Amino acid sequence: MSDSFDLLKSLSEAHGVSGYEDAVRQLVADRLSPLAAETHVDALGSLILRFPSESPDAPVLLLDAHLDEIGLVISYIEPNGFLRFTTVGGWDERVLPAHAVDVRTEDGKVLRGVIGTPPPHILKQEERNKPFQVENLFIDVGARSADEVAAMGIRVGDSAVPSYPFAQLNDDAVMGKALDNRAGCTVLVRLLEDLFGGNNQPNLPVNVVALFSTFEETGGRGAQAASYAIDPDIAMVFEGTVAADCPGVPAARNPSKQGKGPAITLMDRTAHLPRSLVRFIEGLAVMADIPCQLKTPIFGGTNAARIHMVRAGVPTAVVSVPCRYIHGPHSILRLSDLEHTIALGREFVLGAADYLHHPA
């Protein structure tokens, strides 16, 4: 698991808010471009890598993982040096106050700050019991004026993310920011390295196109544009999904459990995926002795919402690593779940053409 750990750590710690994915994209491109027959960055910033089959007329298999994370964007600079911000993506605004953040300037410099809040000593009792509204929050980078902020290189439009190091909690569990979706990116990078990184590369019955997409957290626009250009015959999306197997959450509201392997999506709020494809993937897992689970109930959405409706329609699957506390400053996943997701992805690449020949 050491390769996956090191890769996940570097991707988790990289700064990549929706629309600001360049640092994460570069990490992926540096590892995979030497293996691909073609590497391309499209107009919306998504990274596309092609691994062609030697078989004539082989179908196109699209493998997607989104690069971006939820974050903050500086929206106004107060005369006394405090930074107002807006959220990007689906934050739970209750968890924002008092967290340390990294503000990344346009030239790539990273400056640390904190989301400031009034201390409890000066709050009225009724104020203590109310969550803060985003419009009342601000980032304190230690500046005393707007001129000092400007001298630091911070401008309106710069992005910010939680500022905490990646950590190993035990031999299986790790904690870091942006595991949605640096977990999916890690799965896809490791899968491609496994398939195409050796001297004896397999002649696959599919043309593999890897898409590391932008803007998923703000509507999936990157995947929509790229998949239209790629025109796939079949697709799989790799994600980090909600694991709520923790105190206070009824089992019926828990989408996935840690330690049970990858979670396969049957449907969510944005897509209803082919039941036959879900069953096919479950069968691959059984044959390869890979633990897996169905993601329940019908929460969330992924790039499958965009990909499966491209052109005349694309049979699309979603396989996810269960992650606790996503869309917050820290998440936790199990490396064993991540490794099992890589293994299931490999079985799907090897078997996708069989599904297309016998989809029902």
Catalytically active residues, by annotation: 216
Structure tokens at 46: 């998504």
Q: Over the range 307-331, which residues count as b (16 or more CB within 10 Å of their CB) and which as e?
A: bbebeeebbbbbbbbbbbbbbbbbb
Q: What are φ and ψ of residue 193, in 5° steps?
A: -65, -35
By C-alpha distance, which of 121, 160, 199 is closest to 20? 160
Residue pair 215/89 in contact (Cβ under 8 Å)? The answer is: no
Structure tokens at 263: 């979670």
For 126, the 3-state DSSP assignment is helix
Task: Say which DSSP state 218 is in.
Answer: G
Strands 167-168, 173-176: pairing kind = antiparallel
Q: Would you say the C-alpha torsion 255, 341, 312, 273 has a positive or negative sign?
A: negative
